[in-house]
Amino acid sequence: MEKLKLEIVTPDGLVYSGEVDEVTATGSEGEFGVLPGHAPFLTTLKIGMLIARKGNEVIYFFINTGYAEVGPDKVVVLADSAERAEDIDVERAKAAMKRAEERLKKREEIDFARAESALERATTRIQIAERRIVR
Amino acid sequence: MPTLRDLRRKIKAIQNTKKITKTMRMVAAAKLRKVQDRMLNFRHYAMSMESVLFDLSKVGERELHPLLAVRPRKTVEVLVLTSDRGLCGGFNTNILTSASRHIDSLRKEGFELSISVVGRKARDFFKRRNIPMRKSWVGLSGRITYANAQEISGDLIENYINETLDEVVIIYNEFKSVVLQKVTIARLLPIGEIETEVTQVEKGSIAVDFLYEPSPEILFERLLPKHIEIQVFRALLESSAAEEAARMSAMERASNNCDELIAKITLQANKVRQASITKELMDIVGGAEALKA
């Protein structure tokens, strides 16, 4: 059975590198799945989840915007930051969510977009972290 | 003539200083290793990103993106990177003298100047000279994150796009080796040619039958700010590696000077001790002679 080589790279180093069977990620134009033998493909990624399946094992990642380069036997993800679901600091994400919500309530806030993306990051992190427990 | 006690106290003090400088050298060495690791880790990311940007820059027609557009230069921004803390030899002085020289020459050419700084040392330097700064980031050194680079480059890009700034130049210490740091002046904006470290052969092989989502033009434009971020982050890392290296050799020299001083003063102390023993002996002999007589 052919495998995909998945690499998740961030400015702070390699988050994951290994052989997997299937990758599902959140592209800016929608979710997409990659199996071995995929056509060469380049896309930007939104804040979202990346799922890697390796046999029966499923690994969840949080991806904070970036892009993905897909080849027939490899997926390279370059993200601003990324972490495995079990490494997500839920407490910190919840605190960040609260902060972002408060900032959004104050309408006069200039940096609206920034607060909004902070909120999105936090909620996505929490969702992914919960997914790992429910599974 | 100093007394023996004074000299012994002095030796003790210098020994204590040496303990401190030696420890600081070791701390700097450990930090340097950490930063070097991060530089290595980051290279992987930077190289893949740059090679994709390079490929994209060859694909399809595109409107000239504002970050690529060369406008007549009116306002030039100079971004100076220094450290927050001292005790690192000529690290900050080198940067600040080259920076002021560069600023002076730009001013003579008739450009409006805008100055931004990273690091407490640069901020204090310009504040002391009453030179206004557009922006200053302090407290970063030692724990730089990619988010810092994003914040700085985001600010630069914003000001470049709304035409407050027409050119951005960055001045930082490049880490050449543990014993050599080089002051580097580089242009950040507008973006010139995009270069990659990947060889020509590899470059040609990728771009061909790619599917792009969204279109390569949009993708390219979205990734352009990344290019700035990468350069800023790289400069920040280089600068902090250079800082630790400079501190390491400065503390090494300080420890050596301590050794030298200790040797010198020990010699002096021995002489004083010898002199007092001789004097005492003379007294005893003199006394004995007097009794005999």
Q: Distance between CA atoms of A79 and B64, rounded to whole angstroms?
A: 26
Q: Does the CB of B58 have a partner CB in chain A at under 8 Å?
A: no
- What are the φ and ψ backbone dihedral angles of B276, each rounded to 5 degrees? -70, -35
Q: What's the rounded mean pLDDT across residues B230-256?
A: 93
Q: What's the rounded mean pLDDT across residues B209-231?
A: 82
pLDDT band of residue A135 (cuts 50, 70, 90) is very low
DSSP state of A67: E
C-alpha B103: how far from its chain's center?
19
From the list B146, B209, B211, which residue is nearest A80 (CB)?
B146
Which of B75, B45, B31 lies closest to B229, judged by CA? B45
Mean pLDDT, all residues of chain A = 86
pLDDT at residue B293 greater than cutoff 80: no
Range 77-96 of A in CB contact (< 8 A) with B: 78, 80-81
The CATH classification of domain A89-134, taken from the options 1.20.5.440, 3.30.310.40, 3.40.366.10, 3.40.50.300: 1.20.5.440
Do B110 and B222 share a domain, yes or no? yes
Q: Distance between CA atoms of B37 and B34, rounded to whole angstroms?
A: 5
Do B178 and B133 share a domain, yes or no? yes
Do B13 and B66 share a domain, yes or no? no
Do B194 and B230 share a domain, yes or no? yes
Q: What's the rounded mean pLDDT across residues A64-92?
A: 88
Do B12 and B154 share a domain, yes or no? no
Which of B176, B241, B219 lies closest to B29, judged by CA? B241
Q: Distance between CA atoms of B213 and A44, rounded to whole angstroms?
A: 7
pLDDT band of residue B62 (cuts 50, 70, 90) is low
Q: Distance between CA atoms of B248 and A4, rounded to whole angstroms?
A: 45
Q: Which residue has the higher pLDDT, A66 or A131?
A: A66
**What's B59's domain CATH number?**
3.40.1380.10
Q: Does the CB of A13 have a partner CB in chain B at under 8 Å?
A: yes
For residue A45, what is the nearest residue in chain B, using CA coordinates?
B213
Q: Residue B16: which domain range?
A: 4-29+249-288
- Substitution target in B43, B153, B211 with the highest count of A β-carbons within 10 Å is B211
Residues of B in contact with A27 (CB under 8 A): 213
Tell me the pLDDT tens digit for each residue of A21-52: 999 999 888 899 999 988 888 898 989 999 99
Kindly report the CA angle at B123 between B118 and B129, in degrees rounded to 5?
A: 145
From the list B45, B209, B214, which residue is nearest A78 (CB)?
B45
Q: Which CATH superfamily is domain A4-86 in?
A: F0F1 ATP synthase delta/epsilon subunit, N-terminal (2.60.15.10)
Q: What's the number of domains chain B is made of?
A: 2
**What's B272's domain CATH number?**
1.10.287.80
> B88 an active-site residue?
yes
Q: Report the number of secondary-structure helices (H) and strands (E) in chain B.
A: 6, 6
Do B176 and B120 share a domain, yes or no? yes
Mean pLDDT, all residues of chain B = 87
Do B34 and B19 share a domain, yes or no? no
Q: Does the CB of B52 have a partner CB in chain A at under 8 Å?
A: yes
Pairwise CB contact (< 8 Å): A12 & B41: yes
The C-alpha of B151 sits at a distance from chain A's nearest C-alpha, in angstroms, of: 11
The pLDDT score that the predictor gives to residue A129 is 81
pLDDT band of residue B193 (cuts 50, 70, 90) is low
Q: Does the CB of B222 have a partner CB in chain A at under 8 Å?
A: yes
- What are the φ and ψ backbone dihedral angles of A89, each rounded to 5 degrees? -90, 95
Question: What are the structural domain ranges in chain A?
Answer: 4-86, 89-134
The pLDDT score that the predictor gives to residue B204 is 45
pLDDT at residue B199 greater than cutoff 50: no
Catalytic residue among B32, B79, B88, B232: B88
Tell me the pLDDT tens digit for each residue of B126-174: 999 999 999 999 988 778 888 899 899 999 999 998 888 999 999 999 9
- B293 assigned to some structural domain: no
Pairwise CB contact (< 8 Å): B48 & A78: yes
